[in-house]
């Protein structure tokens, strides 16, 4: 059987009344997409791929607000997020770029206020993020189960660690921008 290829910049599927219900194409910035529309012509679901390799699915309510997303970022992180009726993301679950599981909840004005994760070694952590989405405080358990609190600068670099060492003695450690301890007190 000989294969036939149909080429076009965009395809539309219409219903009996001629309303566009599905569109497959390439966006103005040359990224492929697949959109499903309701009877009013509003996009209710869209799958697309960005130039950087990120891919995602967004699902909107009947008011056009994005209420759920599923995505894979170019850094390898993956997420499933849910939004409120205003389109603000309120809960997010996924895997970070280092493949550790994460969970976050947004509590006010669409800003991430709580984030829970398992560190790469499998220990639970809680991250608190600033208004730009950068983690600034990370609390959790070290690899052997000792509790630690880490403070991070605006670039995401750990700068201070407070906790209990593996032998249960308390410690405080300052860290420079090159991740080298500059002062430790036990």
pTM exceeding the 0.75 threshold for the entire prediction: no
The answer to whether residue 110 sits within a structural domain is: no
pLDDT band at 39; cut points 50, 70, 90:
very high
Mean pLDDT for the chain overall: 85
pLDDT-based confidence at residue 71 (cuts at 50, 70, 90):
very high
User: What is the per-residue pLDDT for 37?
Assistant: 96
CATH number at residue 61: 3.90.930.1
Cα(158)–Cα(179) distance, integer angstroms: 7
Q: What local confidence, expressed as pLDDT, does residue 66 receive?
A: 92
Whether residue 119 is predicted with pLDDT greater than 60 in this model: the reply is: no
| Residues 104, 138: Cα–Cα separation, whole Å | 13
Asked if the structure places residue 111 within a domain, the reply is: no
Do 12 and 91 sit in the same domain of this protein? yes
The arithmetic mean of pLDDT across residues 74-95, rounded, is: 84
Is 34 within the bounds of a domain?
yes
145: in domain: yes
Q: Is 155 left (phi over 0), alpha (psi -120 to 50) or beta?
A: alpha
Q: Cα dihedral angle (161, 166, 169, 171), rounded to 10 degrees?
A: -10
For residue 155, give its domain range.
119-186
pLDDT greater than 60 at residue 98? yes
Task: Classify each residue of 33-59 as buried b or exposed e, where b means 16 or more C-beta atoms within 10 Å of its C-beta.
Answer: eebebeeeeebbebbbeeeeeebbebb
The confidence band for 2, taking pLDDT boundaries of 50, 70 and 90, is confident
Sequence-ordered strand ranges (E) for 42-141: 43-49, 55-60, 66-72, 78-83, 89-95, 101-108, 111-118, 124-129, 135-141
Contacts of 137 (CB under 8 A, 6+ apart): 127, 128, 149, 150, 151, 152
pLDDT at res. 106: 59
pLDDT band at 118 (very low <50, low <70, confident <90, very high): low
In this prediction, residues 6-32 reach a mean pLDDT of 93
Query: Do the domain assignments include residue 13?
Result: yes
Q: What is the tens place of the pLDDT at every residue in 130-182? A: 767 677 888 888 767 789 999 999 888 999 999 998 888 999 999 998 889 99
- The total of structural domains in the chain comes to 2
- Beta-carbon-side half-sphere exposure of residue 161 (alpha carbons within 13 Å): 24
């Amino acid at each position: 059987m000989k294969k036939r290829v149909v080429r076009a910049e965009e395809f539309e599927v219409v219903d009996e009344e001629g309303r566009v219900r599905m569109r497959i194409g390439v966006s103005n910035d040359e990224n492929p997409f697949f959109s499903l529309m309701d009877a009013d012509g509003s996009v209710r679901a869209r799958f697309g791929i960005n130039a950087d390799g990120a891919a995602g699915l967004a699902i909107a309510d009947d008011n056009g607000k994005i209420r759920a997303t599923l995505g894979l970022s170019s850094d390898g992180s993956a997420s499933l997020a849910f939004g409120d009726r205003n389109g603000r993301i309120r809960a997010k679950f996924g895997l970070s770029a280092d493949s550790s599981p994460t969970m976050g909840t947004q509590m006010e004005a669409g800003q991430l206020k709580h984030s829970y994760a398992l560190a790469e070694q499998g220990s639970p952590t809680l991250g608190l993020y600033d208004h730009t989405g950068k983690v600034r405080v990370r609390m959790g358990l070290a690899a052997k189960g000792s509790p630690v609190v880490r403070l991070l600068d605006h670039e995401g670099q750990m700068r201070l660690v407070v906790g209990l060492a593996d032998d249960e003695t308390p410690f405080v450690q300052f860290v420079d921008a090159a991740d080298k301890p500059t002062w430790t007190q036990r």
